[in-house]
Chains A and B, each alone.
Chain A
Amino acid sequence: MLYREAGDFKTSYASDNQTFPIRFDRAAYWVAIAAAFLVVPMVLGDYWANSIVIPFLIYVIAALGLNILIGYTGLLSLGTAAFMAVGAYATFKLTTAFPGMPIYIVFLLSGLVTSAVGVLFGLPSLKIKGFYLAVATLAAQFFLIWLFTRVEWFYNYSPTGQISMPERSMFGVIITGASASSTAVYFTCLIFTVAMAWLARNLTRGTMGRTWMAIRDMDIAAEIIGVNPLIAKLSSFAVSSFFVGVAGALTFGVYLGAAEAGEAFSINKSFLVLFMVIIGGLGSILGSFLGAAFLVVLPVLLKLMLVDGFGWPADLARHLEVMIIGALIIVVLIVEPHGMAALWRTIKEKLRLWPFPH
């Protein structure tokens, strides 16, 4: 009834090509944005901000980045955590070398540094694809983490190899360090997430995104119709690594505050982001949000329910949590092999017909 195209006339090319062709979606989008910027900061407690919302927003950026590579370009990567580590260590080196540099600029520059590293490790993708490329990116994972734990320059010769984020502020508001308010950190993550999601959406539906998808669907055919595979694949690695690098910078800078390459950016994290992309939906911006929510927010909510709600022992709850999440992953993939975003697409089709399906 409410959810339909009928009556919503598109009178220009711009309106015909818009992200949300349905009026209801557009309204929901603006309401969500307004709520995120105006309502959530009012009601968000420290615990909810620091342990649920902020990691969720950061993982969304990482999932968006990996989705560009896997979902849109069809290049499998297992080096996500290593690229996040590049972002984190770039932030550390930049901000300790230039303490006066605005911290948002540091985060963006860290993304660019990661981008360059990503292109370097993306070079094998010109020759190999599929599982073989996955193995090549696995090499990035092991090599980069090895580099960050062995070369003392990266952690400023601290005796333990831990990097710690010093306090930095923007416009007089403390953004990083322990004294930063959770509202400031929330806004930082929100601004980056919204901007990056907007960027990802517009890149993927423009020329660049179309060349990526052409490569994904059939690289030989794409080459014949004039897509340059070198540029398409490397640009995909560059953009993807930029996203992942910013996510790593934020993980270290505003979320954890201290990190160690082998622990915070281990291969488990690569898999976590990969699962987010697969469960959320390959080649979908919404899917990155859903996947991150599923794997970051759900475990904490489960823990709150089992431990604080039912008063069960913490270790039992943790074992159950692993089992429940595992079972849910299997259920989601059986019900909808194309991820939660595809589930949403089906719901949308049904909504269009509701309440008169025949």
Chain B
Amino acid sequence: MKVTVCIGSSCHIKGSRQVVEQLQYLISDANLDDKVELGGTFCMGKCQKGVCVTIDDKFFSVTPETTKEFFTENILNKVK
């Protein structure tokens, strides 16, 4: 599973660093390091919907507050 978080300017201001940091922690906490590849990209062209995240090309709009929920629903539950 490839998870890509937008770290471009617009998403950065909306908290992409916090989203990345939380995902890094949650992924390693759930021992998913070898199953989930976390990456960054600069701009997905949907700046209004930031923080933009894709999972294998499927688009999600995430905030630092909803990261945990997003992780459980779309990463943890899918990867198992």
A binds B: no
Chain A positions near chain B (C-beta within 8 angstroms): none
